[in-house]
């Protein structure tokens, strides 16, 4: 079983993360959800949306949601992985949880072109995540964009992508860059529909050995 290390040296089994992760800090989470509900009430009064589109509040990363963020990542990756790629995918998950996910707040410190955001429901439930980091002076990279399976096709990904583009435009980046794989056809369709240019790409260090038949794509878009 693959494991990754927690902040206090505790092992977190990757497979256990896929099954279930118990949230801690219920009192803090309740306070957070009350604050989110109040802000969303104002947000919803300012705009109307079709009934099947969720109201989404996008907020900077908060450690209250840390276990939820890990769990969403693991579930989304495992969901799209073919059985033949299970070993490679488990290794990728383990590296990510020991890497940027080990301390999200530190790895994605807020700044120009950098940060980690949460998409939350009116009740403060985690709907999705995304992160940004600058890779050149005029190019930002979109990373770790995932949406909970329970709320897909309800505007969450579009809301996060719109927020990403707005932030990058405010920071005066000229292009937005991201990568995804042929395993994630929903993401491929989303980025194509949003006007991104697609090309084949071989990212360094993502796979120790690429899963059989899996291709990686780069997407890039010019910003206003």
Query: Residue 193 class from Cβ within 10 Å (0-12 exposed, 13-18 middle, 19+ buried)?
Result: exposed
| Chain length of the chain | 224
Residue 219 CB partners (closer than 8 Å, separation 6+):
177, 178, 179, 180, 191, 196, 197, 198
Distance between start and end Cα atoms, the chain: 47
> What tokens appear for 116 in the block?
């980690």
Over residues 198-219, the pLDDT tens digits come to 999 987 776 656 677 888 999 9
Sheet with 197-200, edge to edge strand ranges? 57-60, 115-120, 126-136, 139-147, 175-181, 216-222, 197-200
Spatial separation of the C-alpha atoms in residues 99 and 70, rounded to whole Å: 12
Residue 162: CB atoms within 10 A of its CB come to 14
pLDDT for the residue 50:
57
pLDDT band at 8 (very low <50, low <70, confident <90, very high): very low
Residue 161: per-residue pLDDT: 97
> What would the pLDDT profile of 173-193 be if each residue is shown by its tens digit?
999 999 999 999 999 999 999
Q: In whole angstroms, how far apart are CA 63 and each of 18, 29, 70, 187, 206?
A: 19, 10, 11, 26, 26
- pLDDT tens digits, residue range 111-156? 999 999 999 999 999 999 999 999 999 999 999 999 999 999 999 9
DSSP 8-state class, residue 151? G
Q: pLDDT over 90 for what percent of the chain? A: 64
Domain positions in the chain: 3-222
**pLDDT for residue 42 is more than 60:** no
User: With 60 as the cut, is the pLDDT of residue 56 above it?
Assistant: yes
Helix axes 156-170, 185-193, angle to 10 degrees: 50
Q: Which fold does the domain 3-222 belong to in CATH?
A: Aminopeptidase (3.40.630)
* H helix or E strand, kind and range, residue 156: helix 156-170
């Amino acid at each position: 079983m693959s494991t990754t290390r927690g902040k206090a040296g505790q092992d977190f089994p990757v497979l256990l993360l896929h099954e279930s992760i118990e949230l801690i800090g219920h009192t803090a989470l309740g306070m957070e959800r009350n604050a989110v509900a109040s802000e969303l009430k104002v947000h919803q009064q300012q705009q109307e949306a079709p009934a099947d589109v969720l109201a989404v509040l996008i907020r900077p990363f908060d450690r209250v949601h840390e276990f939820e963020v890990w769990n969403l990542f693991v579930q989304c990756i495992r969901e799209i992985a073919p059985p033949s790629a299970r070993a490679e995918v488990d290794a990728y998950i383990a590296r990510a949880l020991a890497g940027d996910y080990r301390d999200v707040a530190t790895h994605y410190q807020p700044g120009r072109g950098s940060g980690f955001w949460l998409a939350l429901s009116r009740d403060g439930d985690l709907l999705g995540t995304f992160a940004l980091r600058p890779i050149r002076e005029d190019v930002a990279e979109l990373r770790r964009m995932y949406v909970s399976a329970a709320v897909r096709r309800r505007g969450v990904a579009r809301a996060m992508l719109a927020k990403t583009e707005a932030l990058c435009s405010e920071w005066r980046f000229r292009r937005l860059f991201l990568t995804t794989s042929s395993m994630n056809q929903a993401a491929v369709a989303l980025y194509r529909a949003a006007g991104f240019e697609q090309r084949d790409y071989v990212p360094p260090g993502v796979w120790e050995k690429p899963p059989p038949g899996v291709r990686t794509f780069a997407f890039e878009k010019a910003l206003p």
